[in-house]
Structure 1
Amino acid sequence: MASSISDTGNNTDRTIDAGSVQPGDSSALDFAASLARSFAASLNVDATVRQALGSIIQLLETEAGSLFLIDDAGSQLICRASAGPVKIDGLTVPLGQGIVGRTVAEDRLIAVEDAYEDRSFFKAADQRTGFHTRSVLCAPMRVGEKLIGAVQVLNKRSGHPFDARDSNMLQVMANAAALAISNARLADQLLEQERIKRELELASEIQRSLLPGVDSDLPICGINRPIREVSGDFYDYFELPDGTIAFALGDVSGKGMNAALLMAKTASLFRCLGKTIRDPARLLSILNREICETTSRGMFCTMLAGLYEPATGLLRYANAGHLPPLIKFPDRLYETVAPDAPPLGIVSDAQFVDHEINLNGGLFVAFSDGLTEFRYGEEELGTDGLNLLLDNAQHKPIAQRLDAVLRELDQGGWQARDDLTLLAIDDCTAGRAFQRDHRGDPAAPTEAEFLFGLSFMAEPSRLKLMRASLRAAARACRFDEDEIQDLLLAAGEAVENIMIHAYGSGKKGEITLAVHRLPDGIMLRLRDFAPRVDAAKIEPRPLDEVRPGGLGTHFIRAIMDDASFIPLPDGEGNLLELVKRRRTGPETVGDSPAGVPPDSGVSPDSGGGSDSPRGKPGVGMDSKDRI
């Protein structure tokens, strides 16, 4: 580009013909070739900038120089490289101010013979650094129609002012440097895009690994299809030791990496806590407090979590602001239950409610809005459309049924606008899950061995289930019939005390029972989530006082070899440990089968369970309060 410098009225700017480079001025052409080779070797913006400035100063034989680039906002120039006695890297100059700012604002080459006579010269820089600027030559840097910055050189070493040849060479070299810098920036952007692509692929792979594997024996199946590389939706399910299936489906607000990170955190917390917390509402409450404490930028997560018992068809769930699930019974079209609590991450003390239904051979379907918002032109699929698609594939196995729904949408020309997630439970196919053999290793344990865990509401009607399971476990631990009856009596008294005294008459709450086999007996751990009780105040009434009730503590003390409270953190309820030892000594390997009878409904899975012991009973506990 041919540029000219006009007289500004202060007799400091000279008019210079900045025309084409003359044939003999091969230095500028050599510079451009050298700069291209340097860029090809480094593919780095900073290295290219430093190489360009160093070559310019060397060719023009100046004392100092600097190269400025326009910032992303386009409002100021930032020094990206400087050479000479004083370094000014990082110095910012507003557009239009100073000689370099004028050069870019006016898009012209400026030569100043006496810097201190120029109104726009920034004298304070010399005063701070001790460098004395005599003359300045500054050229804009342009790629096509886009200005990207300016390069300036100070003081010819010869002491002479800058001439037309210097101006021509600087402008040519500035344009060559601009092209090299632009190419380096493009290369940086391509590298950054490739890095982001690899990170997104890795994040997508990690997300897929968080989803549960397909188990054809379980009556539950899910599908997740992200609209981008990563998803803000998730679903999960896993089988608990007693055969109950814990499940969840969630939808994080927003898109992209932030939503994916919150999704991964929420899904991981659910899988961790869901193995021991058997109350969906309480589980959502804990998740909600954690997300409220750690999430920023107004993000939140709608979520539905629940427990399904294949043996009975009973399903309990709680809903945190998510779409109502679709519940299809064999004799009815379908029904939904609207959410009664806000999403996770909005109100830290939000209250969540458990809903309980018996599927009775029906279908329970949870889904994200990406499914019901599938569009065909202006028409949305909606819940009615989903119900129709499910009916069209009603005779297929559950996994094929879900695949058929998506295939119908894809082939029918429907367009997705959001992440899509679908989770379904088919109670008609629950038989195979219930018939699974959950029996553990029949060998005698050397320490406390987890047999099974139960979670039930504090209601008298649930005692029958507990007694049946506990009877089977006691037989597996080699207790005789009299000892079993005593054990059932003590456990029943303890549970009734929780119902009456911990939760209070008429109040509902959750009770968990963890049963462990000992080398010479059995250990029960009963946990409630009521306010902490003071063990010192639990005193049975005198035996000579004739009136009904009040003897439960006597029975427990008389029957069990040890009965004590294990301290829990505030707000986490009470944990009562009961230990009973056999009168006949330790069991012997090779006697009658030590496993739990297969028809008992008990799952002696030694892999864990709620309140699993830390080694032998009583070992490692800070303290116990005996009752």
Structure 2
Amino acid sequence: MFSLFRHETHQYRKPQPANMPDHPQIHFFALYRGARTGGDFYDFAAVNGRILMFFCDISGNRDEALHIAASVQETFQKNAAELFSGSDINESDRLSDLMLSLNRSIIDVAGGPRYTPAFLACMEPGSGMLTYINAGHLPALVRDSDGITTLDASGLPLGLFTHSTHDAQICVALPGSSLLLVSRGLVETKRHHEEFGIDRVKNSMLEARFVDARELCAAMHAAAQEFLDNKQPDNDLTTLAMVRPQAAAQTTV
């Protein structure tokens, strides 16, 4: 298995900036702040009326992680366009196929195992149906009128075994609901010896006041900074949010 990392000289690449989807029925945003030490990566793809999003944390040296992310981004964009181009497709099966290709891309470029928790999802803006795979990542949090629901991991992280497969799950993002993904760095950021923790993430999301995904991401970062007494974090703090406004109910087809 070929890997640039096995040679003394490396030509590292970096992923391109993610293009935030612009859709009238669903708001998306991602925000990154911190120490620039980790391998957090996210990207989006709009294909045939669907919006796909990918979020992962590639372990190891930052330069190597970003190099892997560049290849993962190419695989994500190319295969998402191919797999989701049709109108009459099984989103669950296609999402599993896409995740398998991302897993193999990580292992191929790394030249071996590379622990990579990841979350992959496909959103249909009209219906609000969210098909997703959580591969060893922190739970995605869905806030609606009933409170917080967690979309927990149901499979191994990527980058461990070339033939690992992941089954997709389905939930519905109702008008007025929101989804939040946070990096391990945000959850594990510490004040003295105390971590911010997933429970604080949940409580901060419940208490946050926002109208779109940008404001939700900003509110979560503000909560983490308040916890840190506005000191510089030691970890990368990354959030990705999706908000389906109440008005989406009037435009659903």
Partner of 1:188: none
Partner of 1:272: 78
* Superposed displacement of residue 232, structure 1: 1.0
Which residue of the other structure, out of 289, 304, 308, is the alignment partner of 2:104? 289
Q: Give the AA of the match of 2:115.
A: F
Partner of 1:390: 205
Distance 1:232 1:340, change over 3 A: same
Deviations 1:440-469 (A, max 9, x none): xxxxxxxxxxxxxxxxxxxxxxxxxxxxxx
Partner of 1:416: 233
Partner of 2:88: none
Which residue of the other structure, out of 151, 155, 170, is the alignment partner of 1:341? 155
Deviations 1:117-138 (A, max 9, x none): xxxxxxxxxxxxxxxxxxxxxx
* Superposed displacement of residue 224, structure 1: 2.1
* Superposed displacement of residue 297, structure 1: 5.7
State whether residues 252 and 302 of structure 1, in contact with CA within 8 Å, keep that contact through their aligned partners in structure 2.
yes
Partner of 1:366: 181
Secondary structure in 1 matching 2:216: helix
Task: Give the 5 Å matches for 1:573-588.
Answer: none
Of structures 1 and 2, the larger Rg is shown by: 1
Looking at structure 1, the residues matched to 58 and 248 of structure 2 have their Cα atoms a distance apart, in angstroms, of 34
Looking at structure 2, the residues matched to 254 and 419 of structure 1 have their Cα atoms a distance apart, in angstroms, of 14
Higher relative contact order (CA 8 A, sep 6+): 2
Looking at structure 2, the residues matched to 404 and 339 of structure 1 have their Cα atoms a distance apart, in angstroms, of 25
Secondary structure in 2 matching 1:274: helix
Partner of 2:126: 311
Task: Give the 5 Å matches for 1:168-207.
Answer: 207=15
Looking at structure 1, the residues matched to 60 and 247 of structure 2 have their Cα atoms a distance apart, in angstroms, of 36
Q: Give the AA of the match of 2:214.
A: A
* Superposed displacement of residue 385, structure 1: 0.7
Secondary structure in 2 matching 1:301: coil
Partner of 1:102: none
State whether residues 29 and 214 of structure 2, in contact with CA within 8 Å, keep that contact through their aligned partners in structure 1.
yes
Do residues 245 (structure 1) and 51 (structure 2) align?
yes
State whether residues 245 and 307 of structure 1, in contact with CA within 8 Å, keep that contact through their aligned partners in structure 2.
yes
* Superposed displacement of residue 306, structure 1: 0.9
Q: Which runs of 5+ in 1 are unaligned?
A: 1-198, 436-598, 602-627
* Superposed displacement of residue 411, structure 1: 4.0
Which residue of the other structure, out of 302, 307, 310, is the alignment partner of 2:117? 302
Deviations 1:168-215 (A, max 9, x none): xxxxxxxxxxxxxxxxxxxxxxxxxxxxxxx99xx6xx54x4222474
Q: Give the AA of the match of 1:258.
A: E
Looking at structure 2, the residues matched to 284 and 401 of structure 1 have their Cα atoms a distance apart, in angstroms, of 27
Partner of 1:322: 137
State whether residues 117 and 135 of structure 2, in contact with CA within 8 Å, keep that contact through their aligned partners in structure 1.
yes
Looking at structure 2, the residues matched to 430 and 267 of structure 1 have their Cα atoms a distance apart, in angstroms, of 32
Looking at structure 1, the residues matched to 23 and 191 of structure 2 have their Cα atoms a distance apart, in angstroms, of 33
State whether residues 123 and 131 of structure 2, in contact with CA within 8 Å, keep that contact through their aligned partners in structure 1.
yes
* Superposed displacement of residue 303, structure 1: 1.2
State whether residues 280 and 354 of structure 1, in contact with CA within 8 Å, keep that contact through their aligned partners in structure 2.
yes
Which residue of the other structure, out of 27, 34, 46, is the alignment partner of 1:219? 27
Do residues 260 (structure 1) and 74 (structure 2) align?
no
Which residue of the other structure, out of 146, 168, 177, is the alignment partner of 1:354? 168
State whether residues 284 and 320 of structure 1, in contact with CA within 8 Å, keep that contact through their aligned partners in structure 2.
no
* Superposed displacement of residue 399, structure 1: 0.5
Residues paired across the two proteins, number: 230
Secondary structure in 2 matching 1:335: strand
State whether residues 54 and 118 of structure 2, in contact with CA within 8 Å, keep that contact through their aligned partners in structure 1.
yes
Partner of 1:593: none
* Superposed displacement of residue 276, structure 1: 2.5
Task: Give the 5 Å matches for 1:60-99.
Answer: none
Distance 1:367 1:295, change over 3 A: same
Do residues 232 (structure 1) and 52 (structure 2) align?
no
Deviations 1:496-531 (A, max 9, x none): xxxxxxxxxxxxxxxxxxxxxxxxxxxxxxxxxxxx
Partner of 2:5: none
Structure 1 runs (4+) deviating above 3 angstroms are 213-218
Q: Which runs of 5+ in 2 are unaligned?
A: 1-10, 85-93
Secondary structure in 2 matching 1:266: helix
Task: Give the 5 Å matches for 1:420-569.
Answer: 420-428=237-245, 431=248
Deviations 1:320-379 (A, max 9, x none): 221121122212x31223312222221111120100001223222122101111222222
Distance 1:266 1:426, change over 3 A: same
TM-score if structure 2 supplies the norm length? 0.79
* Superposed displacement of residue 418, structure 1: 2.4
Q: Give the AA of the match of 1:358.
A: V
Distance 1:281 1:416, change over 3 A: farther
Looking at structure 2, the residues matched to 220 and 326 of structure 1 have their Cα atoms a distance apart, in angstroms, of 15
State whether residues 219 and 430 of structure 1, in contact with CA within 8 Å, keep that contact through their aligned partners in structure 2.
no
Looking at structure 1, the residues matched to 31 and 79 of structure 2 have their Cα atoms a distance apart, in angstroms, of 23
Which residue of the other structure, out of 193, 208, 221, is the alignment partner of 1:406? 221
* Superposed displacement of residue 231, structure 1: 4.7
